[in-house]
Structure 1
Amino acid sequence: MSKGKGGNKNYKNKADYKKPAKADQNYSQDEEIRINKFIAHAGFCSRREADTYISAGKVQVNGEVVTELGTKVRRKDTVVVDGQNLSLEPFVYLLLHKSKDVITTTDDEKDRTTVMDQIESATGHRVYPVGRLDRNTTGLLLLTNDGDLAHRLMHPSYSVRKTYQVRTDNPLSEAQLEQFLDGIELEDGPAKGYNVVQFVDDPHTFEMSVFEGRNRLIRRMVEFHGTEVTKLKRIEYAGLTLKDVPMGRWRFLRQNEVNNLRKMVKLETLDFNKGN
C-alpha cells in the first residue's frame, strides 16, 4: 500500500469551459409524453420521484391539478411541480472542483456560498448537484438537469465508484487500512473500502474508493479507528477525474463522457449530432 504524490496541474483546455455537450430534447410542441418523463427531463427529479409528486396532488398542468400517473402532456403545456414552473431545457452536464466551505445546494437560507455560486453564469439553464459533498469536503461534483441520469448515479443499485484522498489526524496502520478492505461495522451497517493506498511520504494520507453514498461515510469509517479526518477530497467519480480543473473552477462534460455515464447506469446514449 504505497503511493507517491503527484503535482498539481494547470487547466490546459480552456475551451472546455465554453463548449457544453448540450443535448436538445427533440420533442415537438404537440408531441405527447408521459408527465413523469416530462418532469424528469426538466431536471426536477427522477421519474419515480415525479410519480410521488403526481400522486400527492403537487403537479398542475395548465392550471389544473393532475393525479393520474399516466397523464400525457405536450411541450407547450404549462407544467408546475410543487410551485416550480418547468420547461424542457437542453440537457447540460458540468464537472465542478468544489472548494472548502461551499454548500452543496442550489440556495442557502444563511446566505453562505453554494456550488451554484461557483458556476454562476456558467449556463442559462438550471442545473442541480448530483449527490452531496459536505461543507468541508472538496473535490469532484457533477451538476446537471438530466434528472434520470442524476437519480441513477445516486441510486445504490448502480454501485457508482467514488474515490477520495483522505488525511487523518493520526496515521492509520497498514492493518487498520486493510480492515477497510475486509469491511467494518458502522451503526447503520457494514462498510467496505476498495483500492486502499497509503502515501509513502505522508502516512497521514491515503486514498480509498467506495461504492456507496451514505452520509459522512468516509469520515465515519476513519472514526471507527479512533481518529478523525482533517482533510477530505473526492478525486474521482464514476470514472471522471479532476485532471486540469483547478480548485473552484469547472468544465462542461464532453460528449463521450456523458454517454459513458449514461451507459454505466443503463440509459440510452444521446446523439449530440442530431441534437437529442
Structure 2
Amino acid sequence: MAKRGRLDSFVAKKLQVSKKAVRNLLIEKQLWVDGELATGLDQQIDEFSHIVCASEVLQQFTRRYYLLHKPVGVVSATTDDIHPTALSLLALQQSEQAMLHIAGRLDLNSTGALIITNDAKWSDALMAPERKVAKEYLVTLGNPIDASYIQPFLDGMYFGYEDITTKPAELEIVSDYQAKVTLHEGKYHQIKRMFGRFRNPVVALHRTAIGEIKLADLPLGEYRELTQAEVDSVKR
C-alpha cells in the first residue's frame, strides 16, 4: 500500500528538527504540500506528495508506469542472484529503480506484458481480485486442440489442492496448436493446470494484454511508459 503519514513526522525526520520547530515553520507559512500551503501538522502525505520547506524541496517523486515485453529467462523480480530481472531491462537510475515493483508476475519461461510501477495503490487496484481485470494470453500447446476445450474453460475447473473452482475463462482457438485464453483471476500456474486436465502440455505462454493495456508491437525486451489513458483505465 501507499506509504501515508503525518506531515510533521516527515519534516522533523527529514530536517532532523523537533516537531515544535516544525510547528513554527507551519505558523510562519514555510511549508508547502503539492503547491499549496500546508493546512496542519497532522496533514496526511504519501511518497508522491511534493513537499517544500522555505524554498527547499524535501520530497519530489513522480508516479511511474511502465510496460515491459518480458523475454524468456528473465525473472519477474526486483533482485535475483541467478537470472536477469525485469528491472534490469529498464534504463533507469538506481534511485528510481529502488522504488519500483512488479504488478502481476510472469513465470521464468513465459513472455509478454509485464507492468512495473512505483504506485502501490494503483497496482493494488490493477491486481485486486474483485476488479476481475482481464488478462489475455496466447498459448502454444504440445498437442492439437479442438472445440471440446471451450466449455470446460467457461464452466471453470475445480482444483482440489486449494479447494477452489476457477472463474469462467474464455478460450478461442487460433490454430491446431494455439489458443487465446482470457482469465479474470490469477491462480498458481492456472493455464498450465487447466490444459493439464486434457493432458495437453503448454509449450509457450505469452501474455498479450492486461485490461486495456496492450502489448501490441512492443519489441521483445523493450519497454515503454503507459499512456495516461491506460493509467486512467485502471482507476475507472
Q: TM-score if structure 2 supplies the norm length?
A: 0.73
Match of 2:169 among 191, 194, 199: 194
Structure 1 letter corresponding to 2:71: S
In structure 1, the partner of 2:70 is 98
State the Cα distance separating 1:195 from its structure 2 match: 3.2
CA RMSD between the two structures: 2.6
Choose between structure 1 and 2 for higher RCO, CA contacts under 8 A separated by at least 6 residues: 1
Give the 5 Å matches for 1:1-276.
26=34, 32-34=42-44, 38=46, 41=48, 75=51, 89-108=61-80, 110-121=81-92, 125=96, 126-187=99-160, 188=162, 189-199=164-174, 202-263=175-236
Ranges in structure 2 where 5+ consecutive residues have no aligned partner: 1-32, 54-58
State the Cα distance separating 1:191 from its structure 2 match: 1.6
Secondary structure of residue in 2 paired with 1:113: coil
State the Cα distance separating 1:252 from its structure 2 match: 0.5
Ranges in structure 1 where 5+ consecutive residues have no aligned partner: 1-24, 43-73, 78-86, 264-276
Secondary structure of residue in 2 paired with 1:153: helix
Structure 2 letter corresponding to 1:102: V
Q: Deviations for 1:31-75, whole angstroms, at most 9, x for unmatched residues?
A: 6544xx626x59xxxxxxxxxxxxxxxxxxxxxxxxxxxxxxx95
Distance 1:249 1:142 in 2: 12
Secondary structure of residue in 2 paired with 1:231: strand
Distance 2:88 2:180 in 1: 29
Q: Deviations for 1:67-92, whole angstroms, at most 9, x for unmatched residues?
A: xxxxxxx9579xxxxxxxxx662101
Q: Identity over aligned residues, as a percent?
A: 26
Distance 2:93 2:227 in 1: 15
Judging changes above 3 Å, is the alpha-carbon distance between structure 1 residues 75 and 240 closer, same or farther for their aligned structure 2 residues?
same
Judging changes above 3 Å, is the alpha-carbon distance between structure 1 residues 228 and 93 closer, same or farther for their aligned structure 2 residues?
same
CA contact 2:64–2:117 (8 Å) conserved in 1: yes
Deviates more, 1:182-191 or 1:157-166: 182-191
Q: Deviations for 1:222-271, whole angstroms, at most 9, x for unmatched residues?
A: 112112111000001011111220111111011122112211xxxxxxxx
Count of residue pairs brought into register by the alignment: 193
CA contact 1:95–1:250 (8 Å) conserved in 2: yes
Secondary structure of residue in 2 paired with 1:178: helix
Secondary structure of residue in 2 paired with 1:148: helix
Deviates more, 1:252-261 or 1:95-104: 252-261
Judging changes above 3 Å, is the alpha-carbon distance between structure 1 residues 29 and 138 closer, same or farther for their aligned structure 2 residues?
farther
Asked which structure has the greater CA Rg, the reply is 2
State the Cα distance separating 1:29 from its structure 2 match: 8.8
Distance 1:211 1:123 in 2: 34
Structure 1 letter corresponding to 2:172: V
Runs of at least 4 residues off by over 2 Å: 25-34, 74-77, 120-126, 192-195
Structure 2 letter corresponding to 1:198: I
State the Cα distance separating 1:111 from its structure 2 match: 3.5
